[in-house]
Amino acid sequence: MTAPVVQADALALEYRLARQRTGSAKEFAIRLLRRQVTYERLRALDGVSFRVDPGEVLGVVGHNGAGKSTLLKIVARVLPPTGGRIVVRGTVAPMIELGAGFNAELTGRENVVLYGTLLGRAPADMRRRAAAIAEWAGLVDFLDVPVRSYSTGMLARLGFAVATDVRPDLLIVDEVLSVGDQEFQARSSARIAEMMAAGAAVVLVSHDLDTVGTLAHRVLWLDHGRAKQLGPAAAVLAAYRGAA
């Protein structure tokens, strides 16, 4: 039996939130030293288990605050879980908060190398690929310009082009199909489809239930950090729509 690309068992993530409001970092530090700070615990995820096999698309749905983005960040290795266990095998192309790792003072070319390195790729490879990445993103004329002058759409396009420049084992998609203008949306959707056709596993979060129903084989429904239902896409989406 082929090993899953993602295997999550009883995943949990808990945040500690300070109860006291402070006006400055200095005031907070003083209260902390005096042991005057108390915390409340917020469970963003609580006991979530699932697996994603090679070539499978897992959709994730739920209301705002259900834990979808937190789950994606754990799968993308951005956040470590505070409970449970997750194994992710192979290379990952995370398309969440595209361009969040960019440095505004660096050029597009320098950020291609920086962002690619953060994704685990060799800096020398990213330097060689920078021009091709910029061409695909439609940013050749801006490659050597500091990204502080880029629009939000330009940043997202460059981030998408870097994240998808290799053929990954796992694609993590968070509403990324809405990036850029219609022409770029069509090209980005086509690139994602190519990766899926090549056997990449996909974890997809979207509020567009029709898109989820079209692409996903199975769907995980999150509710207040817990897995409410996991199963075939049509059945889970019907239950989710019925509960709305």
Assign residue 107 the CATH number of its domain.
3.40.50.300
pLDDT tens, residue by residue, 29-52: 655 555 655 556 778 899 999 999
pLDDT digits (tens, 9 = 90+) for 49-77: 999 999 899 999 999 989 998 999 999 88
Domains in the chain: how many in total? 1
Checking 106-113 for CB contacts under 8 A at 24+ apart, the result is 106/146, 106/147, 107/143, 107/144, 107/145, 107/146, 107/147, 108/134, 108/139, 108/142, 108/143, 108/144, 108/145, 108/147, 108/150, 108/158, 109/134, 109/143, 109/144, 111/147, 111/158, 112/158, 112/162
Query: Could you tell me if residue 161 is inside a domain?
Result: yes
Looking at the chain, the whole-number percentage of residues with pLDDT higher than 70 is: 85
Within-domain flag for 90: yes
- Kindly report whether the global pTM for this prediction surpasses the value 0.85: no
Q: Would you state the structure tokens that stand for residue 77, as one six-digit string?
A: 């290795």
Residue 182 lies in a domain: yes
DSSP readout, 2-52? PPPSEEEEEEEEEEEEESS--SSHHHHHHHHHTT---EEEEEEEEEEEEEE
Residue 35 tokens read as 């042991």
Residue 191: Cβ-neighbour burial (10 angstroms; 0-12, 13-18, 19+): middle
Q: How confident is residue 227, by pLDDT bands cut at 50, 70 and 90?
A: very high
Q: Using only C-alpha atoms, what is the Rg of the chain? A: 20
Stronger pLDDT, 211 or 105, i.e. the higher one: 105
Position 10 in a domain: yes
Q: Is residue 122 part of a domain?
A: yes
pLDDT tens per residue across span 197-212: 888 999 999 888 988 9
Domain that holds residue 26: 6-243
Mean pLDDT to the nearest integer, 138-147: 95
Query: In the predicted model, is pLDDT for residue 21 greater than 80?
Result: no
| Residue 112 falls inside a structural domain | yes
- How much is the pLDDT for 47? 95
Is 63 a member of any domain? yes
Indicate whether 28 pLDDT > 70: no
Q: With respect to residue 1, please indicate whether it lies within any of the assigned structural domains.
A: no
